[in-house]
Amino acid sequence: MTTTIETGSVTERPAPKKKVLYVDMDNTLVDFQSGVDRLSPEIRDEYQDHLDHVPGIFALMDPLPGALAAFRELAELFDTYILSTAPWENPSAWTDKLLWVKKYIGGDEDSPAYKRLILSHHKNLNRGDFIIDDREVHGVKEFKGEHIFFTQPSYEDWNVVMKYMRTLA
């Protein structure tokens, strides 16, 4: 709250509202390849064209370099949510993504990700100012806010993205 004194009286004004930011998981916060690297050759061959359908694969993944610190800072600067898609044909992915968030970012009420995980195949249905995502699928292309296209020129890694995002807060 901001306090303003007007002619002897005190008026309470709400603090300025933070801009809404969504951050993707796979290949944005999470290193998808690290999970693939932990699969047996037999499983890789069986699921070669759809590795995201491997049961339990999302529980095997590591964070991308700089992703966790970036998320924590973004959560201070913006009204930040994790917005990810879980493969329809891989029911364990829905649970594994939540468990990944709890493991790496935190699961208690003090965590910047507490109850801020949204799983959707239609990311454009979420209203917000920004989305950081490495692809233009699942509604990202139709998202009404600005798409920060992670890993593309100008947004190659978390250091570059954070430099830009700080200017937008």
Handedness of CA 86, 92, 94, 98 (dihedral sign): negative
| Structural domain boundaries enclosing 64 | 18-168
User: Distances in Å between the alpha carbon of 59 and those of 22, 31, 73, 102?
Assistant: 21, 11, 24, 11
Question: For residue 118, what are the contacts with CB-CB under 8 A and spacing of at least 6?
Answer: 22, 81, 82, 83, 84, 126
pLDDT for position 10: 65
For the annotated catalytic residues, the residue numbers are 24, 26
Q: How much is the mean pLDDT over the chain?
A: 94
Question: In angstroms, rounded to a whole number, what is the distance separating the alpha carbons of residues 16 and 128?
Answer: 16
CATH number at 120 reads 3.40.50.1000
Residue 137 within any structural domain of the chain: yes
pLDDT for position 14: 78
pLDDT for position 62: 98
Per-residue tokens: 139: 């509604």
Q: Give the pTM.
A: 0.90
Residue 77 within any structural domain of the chain: yes
What total number of domains does the chain contain? 1
Question: In angstroms, rounded to a whole number, what is the distance separating the alpha carbons of residues 97 and 30?
Answer: 10
Residue 9 within any structural domain of the chain: no
Residue 5 within any structural domain of the chain: no
Q: What is the bridge-based pairing of β-strands 30-31 and 62-63?
A: antiparallel
**Average pLDDT per block of 10 residues along the chain, 169 residues long:** 54 83 98 98 96 97 98 98 97 97 97 97 98 97 97 96 98
